[in-house]
Amino acid sequence: MTPRVIDVRDTTRAAHTLDSVLEHVSVGGLLAYPTETVYGFGGVLTRSVIEGLVALKGRDRAKPMLLLVPDREAVSDLTWTPEAIELAEVFWPGSVTLVLSDPGARYPDGVRGPAGNVAIRVSPHLLVRELVRGLGGPILSTSANRSGEPPALDAQSALGAAVAAGAGEELWVLDGGDLDPSRPSTIIDCSGPVPVVLRQGAVPLGQVRCVLPGIRADGMDNP
């Protein structure tokens, strides 16, 4: 069986479609779906879903995935510094990913990085927000492509990457149309005493410094 493709642009069936998708995901099904930047692969936060996404990506198991969350309260068990709270209040929903400390080791490998941190974001994309609200918690997210290949900007590219990895009916592809080329999210590490920009993406460094003038940028891999 091949992955199922669902056109989520059909607003006349939006409620029924969302209910079906939520049911599929809640029992461990995988998704390919549009976000504000690229198409992503995702699912609920379980070890079996993590393993499925690692297989889809063909990626290093030590490289963690991020969580898309409905709001800050959904991940209140992470360490929220005053700077992280301020960044979330200004840039969420939006293309800023925050990296926070998980001192209680509550999150599994595949999400929790080697330094004990977790990356999170509140997406402004309507479909993603409906998914996380409907599930009442976070979903795993990683770009919908094989590791080392360009991220997908349309459903067919996401489908092709999934089929190449051997995906079957466990994956549903949500077709939200073609996405405009976009930079990835800006990543800011708030796990230490001074926040550090790890990647400058859709939100430029100057805009971040309007909120936190003292933020460091020496960690950027994409200046």
Q: For the chain, what is the mean pLDDT?
A: 92
128 lies in a domain? yes
* Residue that the structure tokens 């993603």 belong to: 128
Show the beta-strand stretches assigned E in the chain: 4-7, 30-34, 39-43, 66-68, 96-101, 117-121, 139-143, 171-175, 186-189, 196-199
Write the pLDDT tens digit of every residue in 7-35.
998 766 667 789 999 999 999 999 999 99
pLDDT for res 222:
46
Is 219 part of a structural domain of the chain?
no
β-partners of residue 96 are 186
* 193 occurs within a structural domain: yes
Residue 223 predicted with pLDDT over 50:
no
Report the pLDDT value the prediction gives residue 221, as an integer from 0 to 100.
Answer: 59
Q: Are strands 30-34 and 186-189 parallel, antiparallel or unpaired?
A: unpaired
* Domain annotation covers residue 157: yes
Provide the pLDDT confidence category of residue 58 given band limits of 50, 70 and 90. Answer: confident
Per-residue model confidence as pLDDT tens digits over 75-90 = 999 999 999 999 999 9
Domain presence at residue 161: yes
Tell me, yes or no, whether 191 lies in a domain.
yes
- Give the pLDDT score at 81: 97
Band (pLDDT 50/70/90 cuts) for residue 177 is very high
* Domain span including residue 42: 4-211
Q: What is the pTM of this model?
A: 0.92
- CA 98 vs CA 15, 50, 150, 201: distances in Å: 31, 20, 23, 13
pLDDT tens digits, 126-140 = 999 999 999 999 999
The letter for the amino acid at 119 is A
Q: Which two tokens stand for residue 49?
A: 């879903």
Q: How many domains does the chain have?
A: 1
**Does any domain span residue 29?**
yes
Average of per-residue pLDDT across 138-148: 92
d(CA 160, CA 176): 16
**Distance between CA 7 and CA 9 in Å, rounded?**
5
Give domain status of residue 216, yes or no.
Answer: no
**Domain harbouring 77, CATH code:** 3.90.870.10
